[in-house]
Amino acid sequence: MVTRAPTFGLPYQDNALVHITRRERFSAAHKLARPEWSVEQNLATFGKCSNPNWHGHNYELWVTVKGEPSPETGFVVDLSMVSRIINERVIHKLDHKNIDLDVDFMKGRLSSTENLAIAIWEQLTEPIAALGCSLHCIKVQETENNSVEYHGER
């Protein structure tokens, strides 16, 4: 017979997969432009986002992790630890920075929101796994109308 910690009146379900999300925010500048292209070609492809003097956004970042809730705490993970990792590995590197010039994990990448989501995933996968859960989704909202979700697929 397996003895479980009290679940405070709720039935405990083995193998219950739960997703939990932490939101963080940052402000950053970037420019969408390929250096080997002319100003005209960049403008035709990327529009005003290719402004030679950069532009900025107030981004929102959602990091969703998944795992089984602990029978002792009911938590998939301590969200304060998730927040600490996000802030150390991502936010402190991006907030009030130029993504193209200042952010080590974006060097050599076009700073589209799609590429930013993939790069953030790469920064968080291992430290999140070390907490005993796994990364499920990175969502980056660049404007109130545009957001990207990345689930680690290639």
pTM for this prediction: 0.89
Residue 146 pLDDT greater than 80, yes or no? yes
Residue 137 pLDDT greater than 70, yes or no? yes
Residue 3 pLDDT greater than 80, yes or no? no
Q: Please give the positions annotated as active site.
A: 49, 96, 142
**Per-chain mean pLDDT for the chain:** 92
Rounded CA separation 58/62 (Å)? 13
Residue 8 maps to a domain: no
Residue 55: give its domain's CATH number. Answer: 3.30.479.10
- Helical (H) or strand (E) element with 125: helix 113-129
Rounded CA separation 89/26 (Å)? 13
Domain count, the chain: 1
Residue 100 pLDDT greater than 90, yes or no? yes
Q: Give the tens place of pLDDT for each residue, 7-59.
A: 554 555 667 899 999 999 999 999 999 999 999 999 999 999 999 999 999 99
- 19 strand-pairing partners: 66
pLDDT for residue 118: 98
Residue range(s) defining the domain that contains residue 136:
18-150
Residue 11 maps to a domain: no
Residue 3 maps to a domain: no
- The 3-state DSSP class for residue 114 equals helix
Residue 61 pLDDT greater than 80, yes or no? yes
Residue 1 pLDDT greater than 70, yes or no? no
